[in-house]
Amino acid sequence: MTLSGLRQLAAAWRARRQGCRRYALVAAVVFALLLPSSVHAAPVIKDHYLTCRIYGVHVGYMRLDLSPQTDRKQPRQAYYLELDDVRDYNPLGLSVREEHRWQVRLAADLSLVSFECDTKSKTSPDFPETRLLLRGRFDEHGRGRLETDAPSGMDIDAGGPLFLYDLLPLLDQAGTLQALKPYTASIVPATLVPSSTTHLSIDSQYAESVLIVERDDSGVPQRLVMNEDLFEYEWKAEPAERATAPPRMLSAAEQEAVAARMPAGGIVPQRALDEPERTRLLRLYLHFPRERRPIPSGLRQAVTAVDWNTAEITISARRLDPADGDLAPYLAPDLFANSRHPDIQKAAREALRGLSDEPAKAARLTHYVYQKVQYEVCPGLPVASRTLRYGAGDCTELSTLYAALARAAGLPCRIVAGLVYRNGHFHYHAWNEVAVQTPDGRLWLPQDPSLGLSDVDATHIVLVEGNVDRQIALGPLIGKLSIDILEAQ
C-alpha cells in the first residue's frame, strides 16, 4: 500500500496508531521498570535525560527525576517522581508534537498516592492544540478516583495497593479510562511479564509489546528499546543539551519505511458492490486469521458459524433490533461522551429545537454532526466537547460526539465499530445506534454521522459494540480479515 493510501485509511483504524493514540503507554512502562519492587533498591535519579529515536531518527527526549520526598498534606507520600516526555515527528506525513508531563507521588512501598499527567498534542500548523489533564488519588487499599479536565470521572477500587504498572491497561487501551473498569471485577485486560531484570513483555488480547532496559550499577536506566507493532522506540542516556536539541523530521523514504510495516487498511472482497449506499441486504463469509471471534448478532445482523475461523453474516437494512434490557448505561455520560458538558447540552437543544419524534431527532443529529465537523485524521483523545469546539475529527470523534449529543437529548445511544464498504474496499469504521421509540416499540436505529447517513446501508458490519476500549480489539484483525460476498441486493 502506498503512503498516500495509508494516509486516507489512517482514520479508519486509529486504534493502531501507536505513536499518537496510545499517548502514554511508553511512559507507563518506563515507570514500571524504573521502580523496583523493593523501596531499598529505588535509585535516586536527578535530571536524567534520554534521547528518543524512532528507527534511529532523533524525535525527542525524556527527562526523569526521582527522589525521596514527604508531604504533610499526604502522609503516605515517600517519593516524588517527575517525567517529561517530548516527541516531535511526522509519521505518515502528519506533523505531530506530543508533550507529556507526569508528576507522581508514591508511598514507601512504591504504591500510588496520587498522580497527574498533562498531555498536549498538536497535528499540523492548521489544527488546534489538544490537551488532556488526567489525575488520580488513591488510598492504601487502592480506592480512589480518576478525573480529567472534562467534568467527568471514574471511581476505582483495585482491591489492594495500586501501583504504576496497574495503570498500564488504562493507558494501553488507546488512552481510554474505560479500560480500568475491569479492575473492579478483577479482570486484567493486559499484564506485565518481567521475563528477566532487563526484559518486560506487555501481553493482552489486543497487542504484544516488548521493552528492553539497560541500567548502570546504581539502577539508573541508560538505554530502553520498545517495539510496538508500528514503531520501534529507543531511549538512550545522553547530555541534556544533546537530548533536547531540535529533532529531525522523517524523510519521505523513512516515512515509506514506516508505512511498509503497517498492515493493509482495507479488505478487498472477491467481487465489487455497485452503489453500496443502496444495498439493503448483504450476505457474506467473514474469515478470521485464527479462531472465530464473537460478533454481535440479532435481527439486523444475523451471524452463524461456518467453521472454526469463518462466520456467515447476513445484514438486512430493513430490520431493526429491539432495544431491550437496561438502557441506563447508554444515557449516562462518560469521560469522552461527556453529555453533561454545557456546550454539548446547548448544541443538543439547538439541533433538536422543534422536534418531538425520536427517529426524526436521531436523523437530525446525524446531519448536524456531519455538517458541523470536518472529517480528518485527529490524533488525541475523542472528547466530545473538544470535537464540538474544534470542529474536526475522524469516525471515532464523530461517533463519540454523536453519542454525547444523543444522550444529552435523552436518547439512549451506543457506539459500534466494524467495517463499511466504500470505493471497492471494506474499511474499518465507527458509527452509532440509537434506541428510539417507534410504532413497533423501542428499536436500535443505526446512524452514521461520518458519512451523513440516517438510513444506514447493509454494508455496515458490526464487529464490536462500545467505546474506544472495546474498539481497540479490532487492532489485531487489521490486515488479516478476508471477505467473500455471497449475495447483495
Is residue 209 within a helix (H) or strand (E), and if so which, with residue range?
strand 208-215
Residue 97 — pLDDT band, cuts 50, 70, 90? confident
Residue 23 has pLDDT above 90, yes or no: no
Q: How many CB atoms lie within 10 A of CB 244?
A: 16
Asked whether the CA dihedral 363, 366, 369, 371 is positive or negative, the reply is negative
pLDDT at site 320? 94
Residue 460 has pLDDT above 80, yes or no: yes
For residues 6 and 13, is the Cβ–Cβ distance under 8 A?
A: no
Residue 14 has pLDDT above 70, yes or no: no
For residues 435 and 371, is the Cβ–Cβ distance under 8 A?
A: no
pLDDT digits (tens, 9 = 90+) for 386-412: 889 888 888 888 999 999 999 999 999
Q: How many CB atoms lie within 10 A of CB 181?
A: 16
Q: Coil, helix or strand for 254?
A: helix
The residue length of the chain stands at: 489
C-alpha to C-alpha distance for 172 and 178, rounded to whole angstroms? 11
* Amino acid of residue 31: F
Least confident of 4-8, 300-304, 317-321, 366-370: 4-8
List of residues 6+ apart from 153 with CB closer than 8 A: 145, 146, 147, 335
C-alpha to C-alpha distance for 459 and 276, rounded to whole angstroms? 7
Would residue 82 be called left, alpha or beta, if left means φ above 0 and alpha means ψ between -120 and 50 degrees?
beta
Core vs surface per residue 386-403: b (16+ CB within 10 A) or e: bbbebebbbbbbbbbbbb
pLDDT at site 406? 96
Average pLDDT of the chain?
A: 75
Beta pairing, strands 413-422 & 392-393: unpaired
**Domains in the chain, ordered, with CATH?**
3-260 (no CATH), 266-488 (3.10.620.30)
pLDDT digits (tens, 9 = 90+) for 408-432: 999 999 999 999 998 888 888 899 9
pLDDT at site 454? 92
Q: What global pTM score does this model have?
A: 0.59
Q: What would the DSSP string read from start to end of 400-464? A: HHHHHHHHHTT--EEEEEEEEEETTEEEEEEEEEEEEEETTEEEEEEEBTTTTBSS--TT-EEEE
C-alpha to C-alpha distance for 87 and 63, rounded to whole angstroms? 12
Residue 209 — pLDDT band, cuts 50, 70, 90? low
Residue 489 — pLDDT band, cuts 50, 70, 90? very high
pLDDT digits (tens, 9 = 90+) for 158-179: 777 777 656 654 443 333 322 2
Highest mean pLDDT among 223-237, 363-377, 396-410: 396-410
